[in-house]
C-alpha cells in the first residue's frame, strides 16, 4: 500500500507536541514515518508546501521507504496531492491511502474512490505500530560471516578444509556414480480400531448364546486307586474231569484203569507205583 501524507496538515493536527513554527518538526515526522514503514513494510510519501527556501534540485528526497516532496514556491501541497490522485490509474487507486484533515482534499479523494484517513487517527495508528514489539522472522534469518564464526567458536565446531587445499581426486573418483534408488518408507500397519465397552459386551453375549461356556466344578471327585492283581492258590488246586483230560492230552499220558498195577517192568527188581492224578 502507498500512503500520501499532507505534511504540514499532519504537524498542525498532531497531539504529540509538534508545532508548525518548529524547524525540526519536519525531520521528526520523517524519522517517525521511516520507522513505521520499516516495521510495516509499506511505502509513504510526504508532501510539503514549497514556501520555504528549498533548493530546486533537492525538492524530491528519498529516505528508505519514505519519499519527501517539496512543491514549488508558487504551488501548494493540496494541488499536488490532487494531481497525484487524478494521475493514478483506476487499478492503482485501490492501493492508495490519503492522510489529511483538509475537507477539500477528503472530498476530492471520495470523488475518485480513494481511501483516506484523518491526520489525528493516523498518528494513533503510527504510535500503536511502533509500540508493538517486532516479531522475529525465524525462517529467513541471515547471519554475517563474523556472526557465523562466533557461533562456531561457541559450539566448538571446526572449520572445514577449503576446497582449494583439498587433494585432487582421481579420474575414477571424479566420475559420477549412479544415484541409488530411493528406499521406500516402511509401511505402517493401520491403527487398530478400539471397541467400546458396549460393543465388547454385545460380542460376549452373542458368543455365550451360541455356545455356553461350562462352569468349572468346585467339587473334586475321588480318584480310583488301582487294585493289586488277584493271587492264585497254587497249592489247593482243584481240576475238573475236563481239565484233567485236557492236560493228559497235552502231555500225552495214557489213561490207566482204576485197579492198581502191582506188576513190575521186566529187568527190574521191584517197581515203583505210578502216580495217579486225583479226580
DSSP code of residue 67: E
Q: CA angle at residue 130 from 114 to 58, to 5 degrees? A: 65
CATH number, domain of 115, equals 3.40.50
Residue 87 and residue 72: Cα distance in Å, rounded? 19
DSSP output for 29-42: HHHHHHHHHHHHT-
Q: How many domains does the chain have?
A: 1
In a domain, 235, yes or no: no
Supply the pLDDT for residue 89: 82
In a domain, 198, yes or no: no
Residue 218 and residue 171: Cα distance in Å, rounded? 86
Sequence-separated (6 or more) residues with CB below 8 Å from residue 271? 262, 263, 264, 265
Supply the pLDDT for residue 100: 94
Ranges of residues in the chain whose predicted pLDDT is under 50: 162, 165, 279
In a domain, 97, yes or no: yes
Show the DSSP H helices in 41-102 as ranges: 77-87, 90-93
In a domain, 110, yes or no: yes
In a domain, 199, yes or no: no
In a domain, 192, yes or no: no
Q: Are 95 and 1 in contact (CB under 8 A)?
A: yes
**Residue 78: domain span:** 2-131
In a domain, 85, yes or no: yes
Residue 259 and residue 274: Cα distance in Å, rounded? 12
Supply the pLDDT for residue 233: 67
Written as nine digits, the cell of 169 is: 581426486
Supply the pLDDT for residue 202: 76
Supply the pLDDT for residue 51: 65
In a domain, 31, yes or no: yes
Residue 169 and residue 166: Cα distance in Å, rounded? 9
Amino acid at each position: 500500500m502507498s500512503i500520501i501524507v499532507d505534511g504540514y496538515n499532519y504537524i498542525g493536527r498532531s497531539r504529540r507536541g509538534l508545532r508548525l513554527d518548529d524547524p525540526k518538526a519536519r525531520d521528526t515526522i520523517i524519522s517517525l514515518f521511516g520507522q513505521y514503514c520499516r516495521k510495516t513494510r509499506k511505502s509513504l510519501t510526504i508532501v510539503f508546501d514549497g514556501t520555504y527556501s528549498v533548493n530546486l534540485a533537492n525538492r524530491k528526497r528519498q529516505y528508505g521507504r519514505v519519499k519527501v516532496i517539496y512543491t514549488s514556491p508558487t504551488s501548494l501541497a493540496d494541488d499536488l496531492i490532487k494531481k497525484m490522485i487524478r494521475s493514478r490509474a483506476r487499478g492503482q487507486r485501490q492501493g492508495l491511502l490519503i492522510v489529511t484533515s483538509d475537507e477539500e482534499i477528503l472530498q476530492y479523494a471520495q470523488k475518485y474512490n480513494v481511501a483516506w484517513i484523518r491526520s489525528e487517527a493516523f498518528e494513533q495508528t503510527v504510535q500503536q505500530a511502533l509500540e508493538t514489539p517486532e516479531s522475529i522472522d525465524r525462517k529467513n534469518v541471515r547471519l554475517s560471516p563474523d556472526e557465523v564464526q562466533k557461533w562456531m567458536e561457541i559450539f566448538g565446531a571446526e572449520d572445514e578444509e577449503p576446497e582449494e587445499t583439498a587433494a585432487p581426486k582421481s579420474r575414477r573418483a571424479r566420475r559420477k556414480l549412479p544415484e541409488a534408488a530411493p528406499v521406500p518408507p516402511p509401511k505402517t500397519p493401520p491403527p487398530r480400531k478400539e471397541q467400546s465397552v458396549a460393543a465388547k459386551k454385545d460380542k460376549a453375549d452373542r458368543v455365550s448364546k451360541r455356545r455356553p461356556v461350562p462352569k468349572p466344578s468346585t467339587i473334586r471327585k475321588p480318584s480310583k486307586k488301582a487294585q493289586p492283581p488277584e493271587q492264585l492258590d497254587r497249592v489247593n488246586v482243584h481240576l475238573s474231569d475236563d481239565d484233567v483230560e485236557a492236560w493228559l492230552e497235552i502231555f500225552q499220558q495214557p489213561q490207566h484203569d482204576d485197579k492198581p498195577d502191582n506188576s513190575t517192568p521186566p529187568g527190574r527188581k521191584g517197581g515203583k507205583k505210578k502216580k495217579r492224578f486225583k479226580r
